[in-house]
Structure 1
């Protein structure tokens, strides 16, 4: 489990157990986590603080269901660039993440240069993102939009580490 602050060797078996418990119940109080893991609350609190300080736990995220707010259409927009100057790529990246309705932006290698995950109210709003916020940039050569029918969260890296 490498990160910008350390390496896989900085995370031991107890840390992995704590991370698994936190993944299952991110809002659980330290006392409850400690009880679930069968360790003292002070040890659990120290380990959680250490995981945060080392950047293993990078933050907490509020997950909002876009459909509950009227954004029932999700799509992935593939973006291909005409040229790849650093300033052009950086400017487009910044503009994409600032676009209303954009959930995530991935700068990728391969035939496409960006994947933009959006959630919008309807097809017209999806079209507007493409025409008013993406293709208006000179650096963009082409886009391709794919509707998302369903999304599921993957098993994650903890499962892979537990299996090794």
Structure 2
């Protein structure tokens, strides 16, 4: 799908505030509200926009500790990596994960109640799994998602 300047600007605005009213989006990019609505529909259908989310204050949910857990697997077979990936997707404590090249195979962002919960979770979810060779945990003192969206392709109207 070829994106133009208006598509890129709509994506930037939605990245900052996915609940921005269509009328305001249209005004900011200089198009009619019907045009903005149609473009956003087209971006969703093409899976350029994959979904929307709410930023939730972790403490409101009883989350007082977050960590990044680095994980090394014993082997790197497709079946083993896929199985571990599916395991991660089932864990409610896992906020996000990255499958990496390098010394660690996965970096897993977890959210827990406290240090005891983190210890118990790391032991049961990672250390006791036969495909895991090594884990290393780093506490997160602050987490913020960036609002900006880097764009590295030329727009269709350039």
TM-score interval, normalised by the smaller of the two chains: 0.7 to 0.9
Equivalent position to 1:80, from 63, 72, 78? 72
Q: Superposition pairs for residues 48-127 of structure 1, below 5 Å? A: 48-127=40-119
TM-score scaled to structure 1, two decimals? Answer: 0.85
* 2:15 and 2:147 in contact (8 A); partners too: no
Verify: 1:149 aligned to 2:141, yes or no.
Answer: yes
On the 8 A contact 2:16/2:148 being kept in 1, the answer is no
Using structure 2 for the length normalisation, give the TM-score: 0.88
Distance 1:25 1:100 in 2: 25
Structure 1: runs of 5 or more not aligned: 1-5
1:29 to partner: Cα distance = 2.1
Match in the other structure for 1:3:
none
Work out whether residues 76 and 118 of structure 1, in 8 Å CA contact, stay in contact via their aligned partners in 2.
yes
Q: What is the Cα-based RMSD across aligned positions, in Å?
A: 1.9
Give the number of equivalent residue pairs.
Answer: 154
